[in-house]
Amino acid sequence: MERPKKKVRYEMEEEELLFLKLITDGNLELQEAGKDMFIGHRAKGTMEGYNIVQKRFKTFCDETTGLSYKVLGIKEVSRYVIDCKIRKVPYSYWMKLKPAIVKLLDIRNVDKDTVFTTMVDKLIQGGKREASERRPPVKKMEALAQECIEKGLKKYVWPYVEDIMKIDLMKLRTLFRWVVARHTLCRFDSFSYLQAKHFEVSSCRTAINVTFPKGKTDQFRNGEVKPLYMNQDSVINPMLLTLVYFRRCGYAMDQADESYINCMIKRT
C-alpha cells in the first residue's frame, strides 16, 4: 500500500517577495522563476522546519508589548529565546531556532553578530542543554540475526513463490527490510525514504541497484547507489527477494512509480 505523501506548503519571506518585485519590473515569469530558486536554495525538510520557527517568532513579537517583528533586534530575539525555555520546546526546536532567525537576518542584510551576541548564544546553549536532559534515551533496534532471516525465508517466503499471493505480506515486509539493511548497510531513516522508482535492474541483470536519495553524506541529494546481488547458492538471495517483494506488493521498478516501500516493521 502506498504511503500518503505529506502536503508541504512553503511560504516565502515578505522581504524575498519585495526583492523579486523590485528587480523583475512586474514580469510574472521572472517572479515565478525567482520564487522557485528561493524555495530551492535549501532542502525541503530544512525549509519546512525553519518556516515553523519563523511563524512562531513573528506571532510572539506581534502579541508581546514592546516588541517589533520589523525591528528584529537583540531584544526581540533574546525575549523569544527565554519564552522557548518557559514553553519547554523540544530539543529539535532548539537546534533550528538560531539558523531560522539568522535566515531572516540575512534576508534583511542585518549582521547576525549584532543580534546573536555572546549573551544570547549562552541563553540558547542553556536552553539546548535543558531540553537535551529531558530527551528520552535513544534505543536502537538490534539487527536481526542471519539465522533468523534464513529461517523466516525458508518458512514464510520461498515455499510460496509459485503462488505468490499466499505469502504473508507483513512477514515478507519484515524480512525484506532486514535483507536490504544487511546488504546495503543503510540507516533506518534512509530506508524509510525509498520509493519503487529508486530500484532498477542492473545492465548485466545480476543485481538490482538501489538509489538512496537521503544519504547522510549526500550533500546535494544525488543519491547513493548500492546493489542487491543475485545469490542462488544462499537462502538469503537479495535480488530474488526484491523481485518477489515488488510482485507481491504490486510495485514497478519505474520512474513513474512513487510508491513508498517502507512499512511499520515488527520483529517476528
Give a yes or no: residue 242 inside a domain.
Answer: yes
The residue-averaged pLDDT of 17-32 equals 88
Where a domain ends, among 92, 109, 134?
134
Co-location of 242 and 181 in the same domain: yes
Q: What are phi and psi of 238, to 5 degrees?
A: -55, -45
Position of cell 506548503?
Answer: 9
Give a yes or no: residue 47 inside a domain.
Answer: yes
* Residue 265 scores a pLDDT above 80: no
Weakest-pLDDT range from 37-41, 66-70, 170-174, 242-246? 37-41
pTM for the model? 0.52
* Residue 6 scores a pLDDT above 60: no
* Cell, residue 31: 517572479
Rounded CA separation 58/143 (Å): 45
Number of folded domains that form the chain: 2
At 78, is the pLDDT very low, low, confident or very high (cuts 50, 70, 90)?
very high
* Residue 8 scores a pLDDT above 50: no
Weakest-pLDDT range from 8-17, 204-213, 251-260? 8-17
3-class secondary-structure state, position 224: strand
Average pLDDT over all residues of the chain: 85
Beta bridge partners, 210, equal: 199, 226
Rounded CA separation 195/223 (Å): 12
Co-location of 152 and 122 in the same domain: no
Co-location of 157 and 64 in the same domain: no
Full residue range of the structural domain in which residue 183 is found: 146-249
- Cβ atoms 180, 238 nearer than 8 A: yes
Pick from 27-41, 50-64, 203-217, 251-265 the range whose average pLDDT is largest: 50-64
Where a domain ends, among 108, 134, 160?
134
Spatial CB neighbours of 131, under 8 Å, sequence gap ≥ 6: 88, 89, 90, 91, 93, 94
Give a yes or no: residue 60 inside a domain.
Answer: yes
Co-location of 62 and 154 in the same domain: no
Give a yes or no: residue 214 inside a domain.
Answer: yes
* Cell, residue 96: 533550528
Co-location of 157 and 127 in the same domain: no
Supply angle C-alpha 69, 84, 86, rounded to 5: 125
Q: For residue range 84-112, list pLDDT tens digits in order.
A: 999 999 999 999 999 999 988 887 888 89
Give a yes or no: residue 17 inside a domain.
Answer: no
Give a yes or no: residue 27 inside a domain.
Answer: no
Co-location of 130 and 156 in the same domain: no
Position of cell 548497510?
Answer: 185
Co-location of 177 and 98 in the same domain: no
Give a yes or no: residue 150 inside a domain.
Answer: yes
Weakest-pLDDT range from 17-31, 35-49, 111-125, 169-183? 35-49
Co-location of 124 and 63 in the same domain: yes
Give a yes or no: residue 224 inside a domain.
Answer: yes
Residue 11, pLDDT score: 63
Residue 220, pLDDT score: 55
Co-location of 124 and 151 in the same domain: no
Rounded CA separation 103/13 (Å): 10
Co-location of 108 and 154 in the same domain: no
Co-location of 64 and 123 in the same domain: yes
Co-location of 52 and 107 in the same domain: yes
Higher-scoring residue by pLDDT: 185, 161: 161
